[in-house]
Amino acid sequence: MKINKLHTALAVLLPIQILLVQLAAKNSAFIERYYSNGIYPPISSSLRILLGWIPFSVGDLLIAFLLFIFIRFLYRLIKYKFRNILPKMIHFVSILSIIYFCFYLFWGLNYYREPLAKNLGYNPSKYSTAQLQEATEHIVKELNFYQLEITKNDTLKVENPYHQKEMYNMAIAGYDKLSNDFPQLTYQHKSVKSSLMSLLQTYNGTSGYLNPLTGEAQVNDRIPKTNYPTTTCHEMAHQIGFAAENEANFVGFLAANYNEDIYFKYASYRMAFGYCISEIRKRDKNLSKELWKTVNKGIRKDFNASYQFWKAYKNPFEPILKKGYNAYLKANNQDKGIQSYNYVVDLLITYFETSKEI
């Protein structure tokens, strides 16, 4: 039984890497300075320059290839009745070691950077229901305004006229304008693509993802178009180093809101309303119902259409996949798991108060 020395060395490096990542994770200031604002920007820019011009998702093909390798590995183990299992397992662990290294070098260490609020100079505190209500009322006012501007009738549902690829290009304009006020949110070298696995993403309830190994932002091109601008901006936020979902949501809101296109502005307030009304519902269901009554009928139709869209793809495997993703988030410094998405409300309220919008 011959054991490959290179495979052994790579396999041994895996637990060492895990230990080093855990040690680095305890020093967010170090990660912020030397990784997120040090080696990460040139790495991410290089990946986007290298792959951004390719019209299809290289990352999706890479995932398919890795899945094929894994299935082949299991098949061969069973076929040969687990003979020579030690060198095969060492080989398998060596591949995991390489993937682990690339994941954290190319993007993953951003999970352990300093909070976005500190980066922006915000000091969010525990908000009251009154503050939440005031912010939500402001959002409803803006949301109603843009819905009426688009449709000229408060009972009509907004229909986004743009093709997905058009919105990928349009999203850049919002980031360009945003960088004037927030230089740390500058975005360069677009690499945003429709996912080749959009149908699968729809069945597992996801709108998009960032492939950390290729730096490509992957957007599910089957989702309703009214929230397509914020989904695109959200994935682009991941590309510039904001790994936490709540922070990427907030940056996505800002980038869409700063965009001069009316459909992007509508999408930004639509997303903000979704998060804020969800938090109000947890605190006061009657208040939630009252606020919904102030929303234009056309907007309510839009939310209902999105609900019906996702409902049509509900399946027994979705909860299992979400549990897996929840565990992944918790393993990467997001203690609330999927629920961490809701903490975007903290940042939204602080932003509206800081910018004197409310």
Q: Are residues 135 and 107 in the same domain?
A: no
Q: Are residues 252 and 305 in the same domain?
A: yes
* The last residue of a domain, from among 112, 145, 162: 112
Reference 296, options 148, 160, 149, 161; nearest CA is 148
Give how far Cα 148 sits from Cα of 185, 246, 253, Å.
30, 29, 20
* The last residue of a domain, from among 82, 112, 142: 112
Q: Are residues 237 and 328 in the same domain?
A: yes
Q: 228 phi and psi, to 5 degrees?
A: -65, -40
Q: Is 224 exposed, middle or buried (0-12, 13-18, 19+ CB in 10 A)?
A: middle
> Is 119 inside any structural domain?
no
Instruction: For CA atoms 163, 166, 168, 174, give the dihedral sign.
Output: negative
Quote the CA–CA distance of 262 and 275 in Å, as a whole number: 20
Q: Are residues 131 and 79 in the same domain?
A: no
Per-residue confidence (pLDDT) for residue 325, from 0 to 100: 62
Cβ proximity of 59 and 194 under 8 Å: no
> Is 229 inside any structural domain?
yes
Cβ proximity of 129 and 286 under 8 Å: no
Reference 268, options 103, 107, 139, 128; nearest CA is 139
Q: Are residues 102 and 141 in the same domain?
A: no
Task: Assign 113 to helix, strand or coil.
Answer: coil
Exposure string for 97-115, b = 16+ CB within 10 A, e = fewer: beebbebbbbbbbbbbbee
Residue with tokens 């605190």: 283
Quote the CA–CA distance of 202 and 278 in Å, as a whole number: 22
Cβ proximity of 211 and 234 under 8 Å: no
Q: Are residues 200 and 346 in the same domain?
A: yes
> Is 51 inside any structural domain?
yes
Q: In what order do the strands lie in the sheet with 208-211?
A: 192-194, 216-219, 208-211
| CA atoms within 13 Å, Cβ hemisphere of 180 | 6
> Is 335 inside any structural domain?
yes
Q: Are residues 143 and 107 in the same domain?
A: no
Q: Are residues 139 and 98 in the same domain?
A: no
> Is 118 inside any structural domain?
no
**Count of the separate structural domains present in the chain:** 2
Q: Are residues 341 and 274 in the same domain?
A: yes
* The last residue of a domain, from among 86, 112, 138: 112
> Is 46 inside any structural domain?
yes
Quote the CA–CA distance of 191 and 63 in Å, as a whole number: 17
Q: Are residues 85 and 143 in the same domain?
A: no
The boundaries of the domain holding residue 321 are 127-354
Per-residue confidence (pLDDT) for residue 330, from 0 to 100: 67
Q: Are residues 163 and 272 in the same domain?
A: yes
Q: Are residues 159 and 79 in the same domain?
A: no
Quote the CA–CA distance of 64 and 66 in Å, as a whole number: 6
Series of mean pLDDT values for 10-residue runs along the chain (358 residues):
84 95 93 96 97 95 93 86 84 94 96 93 86 96 98 97 96 97 96 95 93 96 96 98 95 98 98 96 95 98 96 82 66 58 84 86
Give how far Cα 356 sits from Cα of 138, 201, 349, 352, Å.
11, 38, 11, 6
